[in-house]
Amino acid sequence: MNKTDFLVIGSGVAGLRAALELARGGRVIVLTKDRIDESNTEYAQGGVAVALSDDDEIALHVEDTLNAGAGLCDEKAVIVLVEEGPRYIRELIEWGTEFDREGGELAFTREAAHSRRRILHAHGDSTGREIVRALLDRAKKDPNITFLAHAATLGLLVEDGRCIGVEYLDPNESLKREMRAKAVVLATGGAGQVYAQTTNPEVATGDGMAMAYTAGATVCDLEFVQFHPTVLAAPGAPRFLLTEALRGEGGRLRNDSGEAFMKQYDDREELAPRDIVSRSIVTEMTRTGRQWVYLDLTHLDANYLRRRFPKIHLTCLRYGLDITKDQLPVSPAAHYIMGGVRTDTLGRTTLAGLYAAGEVACTGVHGANRLASNSLLEGLVFGARAGAAALNETDGFPPGVEREPKPVDISPPDWMFDPQTRYRVQELMWQKVGLIRQGAELKTALDELTHLASQALNTRTHNFTTLARLITEAALWREESRGGHYRVDFPKRDDEKWRVHSAQQLNQPIKAVEQIGGG
Protein backbone atom coordinates (compact mmCIF):
# COMPACT_ATOMS: atom_id res chain seq x y z
CA MET A 1 0.00 0.00 0.00
CA ASN A 2 2.25 2.78 -1.25
CA LYS A 3 -0.29 4.86 -3.18
CA THR A 4 -3.67 6.46 -2.47
CA ASP A 5 -5.76 9.35 -3.75
CA PHE A 6 -5.36 11.56 -0.68
CA LEU A 7 -3.27 11.58 2.46
CA VAL A 8 -4.27 13.27 5.71
CA ILE A 9 -1.64 13.57 8.43
CA GLY A 10 -3.31 13.80 11.84
CA SER A 11 -6.66 12.74 13.31
CA GLY A 12 -7.80 15.73 15.34
CA VAL A 13 -10.82 17.81 14.39
CA ALA A 14 -9.16 19.36 11.32
CA GLY A 15 -7.79 16.08 9.98
CA LEU A 16 -11.02 14.15 10.45
CA ARG A 17 -13.12 16.88 8.87
CA ALA A 18 -10.73 17.10 5.91
CA ALA A 19 -10.79 13.31 5.48
CA LEU A 20 -14.59 13.24 5.41
CA GLU A 21 -14.59 15.91 2.70
CA LEU A 22 -11.92 14.15 0.63
CA ALA A 23 -13.70 10.80 0.88
CA ARG A 24 -16.42 12.17 -1.40
CA GLY A 25 -13.98 11.88 -4.30
CA GLY A 26 -11.45 9.17 -3.62
CA ARG A 27 -9.54 6.90 -1.27
CA VAL A 28 -8.16 8.59 1.84
CA ILE A 29 -5.49 7.31 4.20
CA VAL A 30 -5.21 9.04 7.58
CA LEU A 31 -1.77 8.66 9.16
CA THR A 32 -1.36 9.25 12.90
CA LYS A 33 1.77 8.86 15.02
CA ASP A 34 -0.22 7.66 18.06
CA ARG A 35 -3.73 6.29 18.58
CA ILE A 36 -6.27 7.64 16.12
CA ASP A 37 -8.11 9.40 18.97
CA GLU A 38 -4.98 11.06 20.45
CA SER A 39 -4.62 14.72 19.48
CA ASN A 40 -4.80 18.23 20.91
CA THR A 41 -8.52 18.18 20.13
CA GLU A 42 -8.96 15.40 22.68
CA TYR A 43 -7.74 17.76 25.43
CA ALA A 44 -9.89 20.77 24.49
CA GLN A 45 -12.02 21.22 27.61
CA GLY A 46 -13.60 24.62 27.35
CA GLY A 47 -15.70 24.40 24.24
CA VAL A 48 -16.26 25.73 20.75
CA ALA A 49 -17.17 29.35 20.05
CA VAL A 50 -20.00 29.94 17.59
CA ALA A 51 -22.53 32.73 17.05
CA LEU A 52 -25.70 30.66 17.44
CA SER A 53 -27.40 31.99 20.58
CA ASP A 54 -30.40 34.33 20.38
CA ASP A 55 -28.50 37.33 21.78
CA ASP A 56 -25.40 36.88 19.61
CA GLU A 57 -24.46 38.12 16.14
CA ILE A 58 -21.87 37.20 13.52
CA ALA A 59 -20.55 40.77 13.62
CA LEU A 60 -19.95 40.59 17.38
CA HIS A 61 -17.98 37.34 17.08
CA VAL A 62 -15.91 38.90 14.29
CA GLU A 63 -15.27 41.99 16.41
CA ASP A 64 -14.21 39.96 19.47
CA THR A 65 -11.84 37.84 17.36
CA LEU A 66 -10.25 40.92 15.78
CA ASN A 67 -9.86 42.62 19.16
CA ALA A 68 -8.17 39.58 20.70
CA GLY A 69 -5.82 39.30 17.71
CA ALA A 70 -4.12 42.59 18.61
CA GLY A 71 -4.35 44.17 15.17
CA LEU A 72 -2.86 41.25 13.26
CA CYS A 73 -5.87 39.12 12.27
CA ASP A 74 -6.58 38.86 8.56
CA GLU A 75 -10.18 40.02 8.51
CA LYS A 76 -11.15 37.98 5.45
CA ALA A 77 -10.13 34.75 7.22
CA VAL A 78 -11.99 35.79 10.38
CA ILE A 79 -15.19 36.43 8.43
CA VAL A 80 -14.92 32.99 6.79
CA LEU A 81 -14.46 31.37 10.19
CA VAL A 82 -17.35 33.11 11.91
CA GLU A 83 -19.83 33.10 9.02
CA GLU A 84 -19.33 29.43 8.15
CA GLY A 85 -19.00 28.26 11.75
CA PRO A 86 -22.75 27.80 12.48
CA ARG A 87 -23.16 25.58 9.42
CA TYR A 88 -20.45 23.18 10.55
CA ILE A 89 -21.67 23.10 14.15
CA ARG A 90 -25.17 22.21 12.95
CA GLU A 91 -23.58 19.52 10.81
CA LEU A 92 -21.79 18.12 13.86
CA ILE A 93 -25.07 17.98 15.74
CA GLU A 94 -26.67 16.13 12.81
CA TRP A 95 -23.77 13.68 12.96
CA GLY A 96 -24.48 12.92 16.60
CA THR A 97 -22.35 15.34 18.61
CA GLU A 98 -24.05 15.78 21.99
CA PHE A 99 -23.49 19.34 23.17
CA ASP A 100 -24.80 20.19 26.62
CA ARG A 101 -28.34 21.55 26.79
CA GLU A 102 -30.60 23.30 29.29
CA GLY A 103 -34.32 22.69 28.94
CA GLY A 104 -33.72 21.16 25.53
CA GLU A 105 -31.90 24.24 24.21
CA LEU A 106 -28.16 24.47 23.55
CA ALA A 107 -26.30 25.77 26.63
CA PHE A 108 -23.81 28.56 26.04
CA THR A 109 -21.14 29.80 28.43
CA ARG A 110 -18.77 32.77 28.32
CA GLU A 111 -14.99 32.91 28.24
CA ALA A 112 -12.38 35.64 28.34
CA ALA A 113 -12.59 38.42 25.72
CA HIS A 114 -16.00 37.26 24.44
CA SER A 115 -18.78 39.86 24.59
CA ARG A 116 -21.50 37.20 24.63
CA ARG A 117 -22.13 33.71 26.01
CA ARG A 118 -21.30 31.81 22.81
CA ILE A 119 -19.25 28.81 23.95
CA LEU A 120 -20.84 25.42 23.38
CA HIS A 121 -19.57 22.59 25.57
CA ALA A 122 -20.08 18.85 25.87
CA HIS A 123 -20.17 16.67 28.99
CA GLY A 124 -19.25 19.79 30.94
CA ASP A 125 -15.54 19.98 30.17
CA SER A 126 -14.89 17.29 27.52
CA THR A 127 -15.91 19.14 24.36
CA GLY A 128 -12.96 18.15 22.19
CA ARG A 129 -13.33 14.50 23.09
CA GLU A 130 -17.03 14.52 22.17
CA ILE A 131 -16.37 16.19 18.80
CA VAL A 132 -13.63 13.68 17.97
CA ARG A 133 -15.93 10.82 18.98
CA ALA A 134 -18.65 11.96 16.57
CA LEU A 135 -16.23 12.63 13.70
CA LEU A 136 -14.42 9.33 14.23
CA ASP A 137 -17.70 7.41 14.28
CA ARG A 138 -18.64 8.91 10.95
CA ALA A 139 -15.17 8.46 9.42
CA LYS A 140 -14.94 4.80 10.47
CA LYS A 141 -18.20 4.12 8.62
CA ASP A 142 -16.90 5.65 5.39
CA PRO A 143 -15.50 2.90 3.13
CA ASN A 144 -13.15 5.39 1.46
CA ILE A 145 -11.28 6.25 4.69
CA THR A 146 -8.51 4.05 6.09
CA PHE A 147 -6.65 4.80 9.33
CA LEU A 148 -3.02 3.89 9.88
CA ALA A 149 -2.16 4.46 13.55
CA HIS A 150 1.29 4.65 15.17
CA ALA A 151 2.74 5.66 11.79
CA ALA A 152 4.98 8.67 12.41
CA THR A 153 5.43 10.86 9.35
CA LEU A 154 9.11 11.69 8.95
CA GLY A 155 9.07 14.02 5.95
CA LEU A 156 7.25 15.21 2.85
CA LEU A 157 8.09 13.96 -0.65
CA VAL A 158 8.56 16.74 -3.20
CA GLU A 159 9.12 16.33 -6.93
CA ASP A 160 9.21 19.14 -9.49
CA GLY A 161 8.04 21.67 -6.92
CA ARG A 162 5.00 19.64 -5.84
CA CYS A 163 4.27 17.63 -2.71
CA ILE A 164 3.49 14.11 -3.91
CA GLY A 165 3.43 12.13 -0.67
CA VAL A 166 5.20 11.38 2.58
CA GLU A 167 7.93 9.29 4.11
CA TYR A 168 6.63 7.53 7.20
CA LEU A 169 7.44 4.85 9.75
CA ASP A 170 5.62 1.58 9.13
CA PRO A 171 4.24 0.73 12.59
CA ASN A 172 4.14 -3.01 11.95
CA GLU A 173 7.71 -3.60 10.84
CA SER A 174 9.79 -0.56 11.99
CA LEU A 175 10.48 0.19 8.34
CA LYS A 176 10.70 3.58 6.70
CA ARG A 177 8.36 3.70 3.71
CA GLU A 178 6.97 6.11 1.14
CA MET A 179 3.32 6.74 0.37
CA ARG A 180 2.25 8.82 -2.61
CA ALA A 181 -0.98 10.75 -3.23
CA LYS A 182 -2.60 13.42 -5.39
CA ALA A 183 -2.56 15.76 -2.41
CA VAL A 184 -1.45 15.83 1.23
CA VAL A 185 -3.41 17.59 3.98
CA LEU A 186 -1.34 18.46 7.05
CA ALA A 187 -3.41 18.43 10.23
CA THR A 188 -0.63 17.60 12.68
CA GLY A 189 -1.68 20.04 15.39
CA GLY A 190 0.45 22.23 17.60
CA ALA A 191 3.91 22.43 19.09
CA GLY A 192 3.55 22.93 22.83
CA GLN A 193 6.08 20.17 23.53
CA VAL A 194 8.96 22.42 22.45
CA TYR A 195 8.47 24.02 25.88
CA ALA A 196 9.31 22.40 29.22
CA GLN A 197 5.91 23.43 30.64
CA THR A 198 2.89 22.80 28.42
CA THR A 199 -0.76 21.75 28.43
CA ASN A 200 -0.23 19.81 25.20
CA PRO A 201 -0.04 16.01 24.93
CA GLU A 202 3.19 14.20 24.03
CA VAL A 203 2.23 14.11 20.33
CA ALA A 204 2.25 17.93 19.97
CA THR A 205 5.84 18.28 18.82
CA GLY A 206 5.32 20.53 15.80
CA ASP A 207 6.46 17.95 13.24
CA GLY A 208 4.11 19.22 10.55
CA MET A 209 5.38 22.79 10.70
CA ALA A 210 9.01 21.69 10.54
CA MET A 211 8.39 19.18 7.73
CA ALA A 212 6.55 21.76 5.64
CA TYR A 213 9.35 24.32 6.16
CA THR A 214 12.03 21.77 5.24
CA ALA A 215 10.07 20.85 2.10
CA GLY A 216 10.03 24.51 1.00
CA ALA A 217 6.66 25.82 2.26
CA THR A 218 6.44 29.19 4.01
CA VAL A 219 5.69 29.39 7.75
CA CYS A 220 4.29 32.55 9.34
CA ASP A 221 3.85 34.20 12.77
CA LEU A 222 5.73 31.55 14.76
CA GLU A 223 6.71 34.14 17.37
CA PHE A 224 3.13 34.25 18.63
CA VAL A 225 2.82 31.53 21.25
CA GLN A 226 -0.13 31.54 23.61
CA PHE A 227 0.47 30.53 27.21
CA HIS A 228 -2.63 29.34 29.03
CA PRO A 229 -2.81 31.27 32.30
CA THR A 230 -4.39 28.63 34.54
CA VAL A 231 -2.63 25.28 34.53
CA LEU A 232 -2.59 23.13 37.65
CA ALA A 233 0.69 23.67 39.51
CA ALA A 234 0.23 21.30 42.46
CA PRO A 235 3.40 19.42 43.47
CA GLY A 236 3.33 15.91 42.02
CA ALA A 237 0.42 16.64 39.67
CA PRO A 238 0.65 16.81 35.86
CA ARG A 239 0.40 20.17 34.09
CA PHE A 240 -3.35 19.79 33.73
CA LEU A 241 -5.24 22.62 32.01
CA LEU A 242 -7.96 24.36 34.03
CA THR A 243 -10.25 25.71 31.35
CA GLU A 244 -10.96 29.38 30.74
CA ALA A 245 -14.59 28.58 31.39
CA LEU A 246 -13.83 28.33 35.12
CA ARG A 247 -13.13 32.06 35.08
CA GLY A 248 -16.02 32.62 32.70
CA GLU A 249 -18.31 31.13 35.35
CA GLY A 250 -16.92 33.44 38.04
CA GLY A 251 -13.60 31.98 39.22
CA ARG A 252 -11.19 34.51 40.78
CA LEU A 253 -7.39 34.66 40.75
CA ARG A 254 -5.84 35.32 44.16
CA ASN A 255 -2.30 35.74 45.42
CA ASP A 256 -0.75 34.20 48.51
CA SER A 257 -2.41 36.82 50.70
CA GLY A 258 -5.85 35.98 49.35
CA GLU A 259 -6.08 39.22 47.34
CA ALA A 260 -7.94 39.15 44.00
CA PHE A 261 -5.16 40.87 42.06
CA MET A 262 -6.33 41.03 38.42
CA LYS A 263 -8.04 44.41 38.90
CA GLN A 264 -4.56 45.91 39.34
CA TYR A 265 -3.55 44.80 35.85
CA ASP A 266 -6.63 45.10 33.63
CA ASP A 267 -10.16 46.49 33.93
CA ARG A 268 -11.55 43.24 32.53
CA GLU A 269 -9.93 41.38 35.45
CA GLU A 270 -10.18 37.57 35.03
CA LEU A 271 -11.86 37.97 31.63
CA ALA A 272 -8.97 39.85 30.02
CA PRO A 273 -7.31 38.13 27.01
CA ARG A 274 -5.07 35.19 27.83
CA ASP A 275 -1.76 36.94 27.17
CA ILE A 276 -2.64 39.70 29.65
CA VAL A 277 -3.84 37.26 32.32
CA SER A 278 -0.73 35.09 31.89
CA ARG A 279 1.71 38.00 32.18
CA SER A 280 -0.23 39.36 35.16
CA ILE A 281 0.11 36.01 36.92
CA VAL A 282 3.86 35.87 36.21
CA THR A 283 4.28 39.44 37.48
CA GLU A 284 2.37 38.59 40.64
CA MET A 285 4.42 35.41 41.15
CA THR A 286 7.63 37.42 40.79
CA ARG A 287 6.38 40.12 43.17
CA THR A 288 5.39 37.63 45.88
CA GLY A 289 8.26 35.19 45.32
CA ARG A 290 5.86 32.28 44.83
CA GLN A 291 5.74 29.60 42.13
CA TRP A 292 2.00 29.88 41.62
CA VAL A 293 -1.12 31.90 42.32
CA TYR A 294 -4.54 30.48 43.21
CA LEU A 295 -7.74 29.98 41.23
CA ASP A 296 -10.64 30.33 43.66
CA LEU A 297 -14.02 28.76 42.87
CA THR A 298 -15.14 28.19 46.45
CA HIS A 299 -17.73 31.00 46.34
CA LEU A 300 -19.60 29.24 43.50
CA ASP A 301 -22.32 26.61 43.91
CA ALA A 302 -20.65 23.27 44.63
CA ASN A 303 -23.24 21.09 42.88
CA TYR A 304 -23.10 23.26 39.78
CA LEU A 305 -19.28 23.06 39.68
CA ARG A 306 -19.30 19.27 39.95
CA ARG A 307 -21.92 19.01 37.21
CA ARG A 308 -20.38 21.63 34.90
CA PHE A 309 -16.73 20.52 35.24
CA PRO A 310 -16.80 16.79 36.04
CA LYS A 311 -13.43 15.88 34.50
CA ILE A 312 -11.62 18.77 36.23
CA HIS A 313 -13.34 17.95 39.52
CA LEU A 314 -12.28 14.29 39.43
CA THR A 315 -8.73 15.04 38.24
CA CYS A 316 -8.14 17.56 41.01
CA LEU A 317 -9.55 15.13 43.60
CA ARG A 318 -6.93 12.64 42.47
CA TYR A 319 -4.28 15.08 43.66
CA GLY A 320 -5.95 16.02 46.93
CA LEU A 321 -7.77 19.14 45.75
CA ASP A 322 -11.53 19.72 45.78
CA ILE A 323 -12.49 22.54 43.42
CA THR A 324 -15.60 23.25 45.54
CA LYS A 325 -13.57 23.72 48.75
CA ASP A 326 -9.90 24.36 47.90
CA GLN A 327 -8.12 27.16 46.11
CA LEU A 328 -6.22 25.63 43.19
CA PRO A 329 -2.51 26.44 42.64
CA VAL A 330 -2.03 27.57 39.03
CA SER A 331 0.64 29.06 36.78
CA PRO A 332 0.92 29.55 32.98
CA ALA A 333 2.16 26.95 30.48
CA ALA A 334 2.61 26.87 26.70
CA HIS A 335 -0.75 26.09 25.13
CA TYR A 336 -1.26 27.14 21.51
CA ILE A 337 0.77 28.55 18.63
CA MET A 338 -0.96 31.19 16.51
CA GLY A 339 1.54 30.79 13.68
CA GLY A 340 2.18 27.82 11.44
CA VAL A 341 2.29 26.81 7.79
CA ARG A 342 1.06 29.70 5.70
CA THR A 343 -2.25 28.99 3.98
CA ASP A 344 -4.98 30.91 2.25
CA THR A 345 -8.62 30.56 3.30
CA LEU A 346 -8.91 27.38 1.21
CA GLY A 347 -6.10 25.67 3.09
CA ARG A 348 -3.60 25.91 0.23
CA THR A 349 0.02 26.29 1.33
CA THR A 350 2.75 27.89 -0.78
CA LEU A 351 3.84 24.39 -1.88
CA ALA A 352 1.69 22.85 -4.63
CA GLY A 353 -0.08 19.68 -3.58
CA LEU A 354 0.22 20.49 0.13
CA TYR A 355 -2.74 21.73 2.17
CA ALA A 356 -2.93 22.46 5.89
CA ALA A 357 -5.65 23.06 8.49
CA GLY A 358 -5.99 23.43 12.23
CA GLU A 359 -3.24 24.50 14.61
CA VAL A 360 -0.47 23.48 12.21
CA ALA A 361 -1.72 26.12 9.76
CA CYS A 362 -1.58 29.90 9.83
CA THR A 363 -4.56 31.44 8.03
CA GLY A 364 -4.18 34.74 9.89
CA VAL A 365 -7.47 34.10 11.69
CA HIS A 366 -5.91 34.29 15.17
CA GLY A 367 -3.59 37.23 14.58
CA ALA A 368 -1.22 37.71 17.51
CA ASN A 369 -3.49 36.11 20.10
CA ARG A 370 -6.20 33.47 19.64
CA LEU A 371 -9.63 34.22 21.04
CA ALA A 372 -10.61 31.49 23.50
CA SER A 373 -12.45 28.49 21.96
CA ASN A 374 -11.97 29.60 18.35
CA SER A 375 -9.56 26.72 17.70
CA LEU A 376 -12.09 23.87 17.45
CA LEU A 377 -14.20 26.01 15.13
CA GLU A 378 -11.13 26.73 13.02
CA GLY A 379 -10.38 23.02 12.72
CA LEU A 380 -13.91 22.29 11.51
CA VAL A 381 -14.24 25.16 9.06
CA PHE A 382 -10.77 25.12 7.54
CA GLY A 383 -10.45 21.33 7.68
CA ALA A 384 -13.52 21.11 5.47
CA ARG A 385 -12.27 23.90 3.19
CA ALA A 386 -8.82 22.33 2.81
CA GLY A 387 -10.37 18.97 1.97
CA ALA A 388 -12.70 20.53 -0.58
CA ALA A 389 -9.89 22.48 -2.24
CA ALA A 390 -7.62 19.43 -2.45
CA LEU A 391 -10.48 17.43 -3.94
CA ASN A 392 -11.44 20.04 -6.52
CA GLU A 393 -7.93 21.02 -7.57
CA THR A 394 -6.59 17.51 -8.14
CA ASP A 395 -9.43 16.15 -10.23
CA GLY A 396 -7.84 13.92 -12.87
CA PHE A 397 -4.41 14.32 -11.31
CA PRO A 398 -2.62 10.95 -10.96
CA PRO A 399 -1.46 10.02 -7.48
CA GLY A 400 2.09 9.25 -8.58
CA VAL A 401 3.74 6.50 -10.56
CA GLU A 402 3.18 3.01 -9.18
CA ARG A 403 6.52 1.63 -8.12
CA GLU A 404 7.97 -0.99 -5.84
CA PRO A 405 8.37 0.33 -2.31
CA LYS A 406 11.92 0.34 -1.00
CA PRO A 407 11.63 0.04 2.75
CA VAL A 408 14.65 0.92 4.83
CA ASP A 409 15.07 -0.98 8.09
CA ILE A 410 15.60 1.45 10.97
CA SER A 411 16.13 0.95 14.67
CA PRO A 412 14.24 2.90 17.38
CA PRO A 413 17.08 5.45 17.92
CA ASP A 414 16.69 6.44 14.27
CA TRP A 415 13.12 7.68 14.73
CA MET A 416 12.71 8.32 18.46
CA PHE A 417 13.63 11.67 19.93
CA ASP A 418 17.15 12.01 21.26
CA PRO A 419 16.24 12.69 24.93
CA GLN A 420 19.24 14.84 25.78
CA THR A 421 18.64 17.20 22.84
CA ARG A 422 14.89 17.28 23.42
CA TYR A 423 15.20 18.22 27.09
CA ARG A 424 17.80 20.89 26.33
CA VAL A 425 15.56 22.44 23.66
CA GLN A 426 12.57 22.44 26.02
CA GLU A 427 14.46 24.12 28.86
CA LEU A 428 16.06 26.65 26.52
CA MET A 429 12.68 27.60 25.05
CA TRP A 430 11.02 27.85 28.48
CA GLN A 431 13.78 29.96 30.02
CA LYS A 432 14.63 32.28 27.11
CA VAL A 433 11.79 32.16 24.54
CA GLY A 434 8.83 31.95 26.89
CA LEU A 435 6.14 34.25 28.15
CA ILE A 436 8.44 37.23 28.74
CA ARG A 437 11.31 37.70 26.26
CA GLN A 438 14.43 39.84 25.98
CA GLY A 439 16.69 40.41 22.97
CA ALA A 440 20.02 39.26 24.42
CA GLU A 441 18.48 36.04 25.78
CA LEU A 442 16.76 35.35 22.45
CA LYS A 443 20.09 35.79 20.65
CA THR A 444 21.79 33.36 23.05
CA ALA A 445 19.01 30.82 22.54
CA LEU A 446 19.10 31.23 18.76
CA ASP A 447 22.86 30.63 18.64
CA GLU A 448 22.56 27.41 20.64
CA LEU A 449 19.52 26.17 18.72
CA THR A 450 21.26 26.86 15.40
CA HIS A 451 24.21 24.83 16.64
CA LEU A 452 21.98 21.98 17.82
CA ALA A 453 20.10 21.90 14.51
CA SER A 454 23.40 21.59 12.62
CA GLN A 455 24.31 18.37 14.44
CA ALA A 456 23.87 14.88 13.04
CA LEU A 457 20.38 14.34 14.48
CA ASN A 458 17.75 11.81 13.46
CA THR A 459 14.81 13.16 11.48
CA ARG A 460 12.32 13.73 14.30
CA THR A 461 14.85 15.36 16.62
CA HIS A 462 16.01 17.59 13.77
CA ASN A 463 12.40 18.63 13.04
CA PHE A 464 11.90 19.45 16.72
CA THR A 465 15.08 21.52 16.97
CA THR A 466 14.42 23.26 13.66
CA LEU A 467 10.97 24.44 14.79
CA ALA A 468 12.37 25.77 18.08
CA ARG A 469 14.98 27.68 16.10
CA LEU A 470 12.32 29.18 13.80
CA ILE A 471 10.17 30.34 16.76
CA THR A 472 13.22 31.95 18.36
CA GLU A 473 14.33 33.61 15.13
CA ALA A 474 10.88 35.15 14.65
CA ALA A 475 10.74 36.31 18.29
CA LEU A 476 14.14 38.03 17.93
CA TRP A 477 13.08 39.63 14.63
CA ARG A 478 9.89 41.23 15.99
CA GLU A 479 11.05 44.25 18.00
CA GLU A 480 7.76 45.13 19.67
CA SER A 481 5.22 43.57 22.04
CA ARG A 482 1.94 42.34 20.61
CA GLY A 483 -0.49 39.62 21.70
CA GLY A 484 1.33 36.44 22.66
CA HIS A 485 4.75 37.98 21.97
CA TYR A 486 6.13 40.19 24.76
CA ARG A 487 9.58 41.81 24.71
CA VAL A 488 10.72 43.64 27.87
CA ASP A 489 13.22 45.57 25.73
CA PHE A 490 10.43 46.59 23.30
CA PRO A 491 7.37 46.72 25.60
CA LYS A 492 5.12 48.81 23.32
CA ARG A 493 3.00 47.78 20.36
CA ASP A 494 4.22 49.52 17.20
CA ASP A 495 1.57 49.48 14.46
CA GLU A 496 3.52 51.83 12.22
CA LYS A 497 6.39 49.38 11.71
CA TRP A 498 5.23 45.99 12.94
CA ARG A 499 1.62 45.53 11.85
CA VAL A 500 2.92 42.80 9.53
CA HIS A 501 3.31 39.04 9.61
CA SER A 502 6.64 37.25 9.83
CA ALA A 503 7.37 34.82 7.00
CA GLN A 504 10.14 32.21 7.00
CA GLN A 505 11.19 29.98 4.12
CA LEU A 506 14.06 27.55 3.75
CA ASN A 507 17.41 29.20 2.95
CA GLN A 508 15.88 32.69 2.91
CA PRO A 509 16.04 35.50 5.48
CA ILE A 510 12.94 36.18 7.54
CA LYS A 511 10.72 38.84 5.97
CA ALA A 512 7.54 40.82 6.59
CA VAL A 513 4.32 40.13 4.66
CA GLU A 514 1.19 42.28 4.75
CA GLN A 515 -1.34 39.45 4.57
CA ILE A 516 -1.18 35.70 5.04
CA GLY A 517 -3.13 34.83 1.89
CA GLY A 518 -6.32 35.22 -0.12
CA GLY A 519 -8.41 32.47 -1.64
State the average pLDDT over residues 460-484. 96
Inter-CA distances, 342 with 223, 484, 515, Å: 14, 18, 10
* This prediction's pTM: 0.93
Residue 238's closest CA among 311, 316, 293? 316
Do 480 and 487 touch, CB atoms closer than 8 A? yes
**In one letter, which amino acid is 364?**
G
Sorted by where each starts, the structural domains of the chain and their CATH numbers stand as: 233-332 (3.90.700.10)
Active site (catalytic) residues: 274
What residues pair up with 487 in beta bridges, in sequence order?
437, 490
Put the strands of the sheet holding 408-409 in their side by side order. 153-159, 162-170, 175-180, 408-409
| 392 CB-contact burial (10 Å; exposed 0-12 / middle 13-18 / buried 19+) | exposed
Any idea what DSSP says for residue 327? P
pLDDT at 273: 80
Give per-residue pLDDT as tens, 10-26: 999 999 999 999 999 99
Give per-residue pLDDT as tens, 319-338: 999 999 999 999 999 999 99
Instruction: For helices 375-393 and 75-94, give the axis angle rounded to 10 degrees.
Output: 90
User: Using 50, 70 and 90 to split pLDDT, how confident is the model at 124?
Assistant: confident
DSSP-derived 3-state class of residue 149: coil
State the average pLDDT over residues 150-179. 90
Give per-residue pLDDT as tens, 419-441: 999 999 999 999 999 999 999 99
State the average pLDDT over residues 354-372. 95
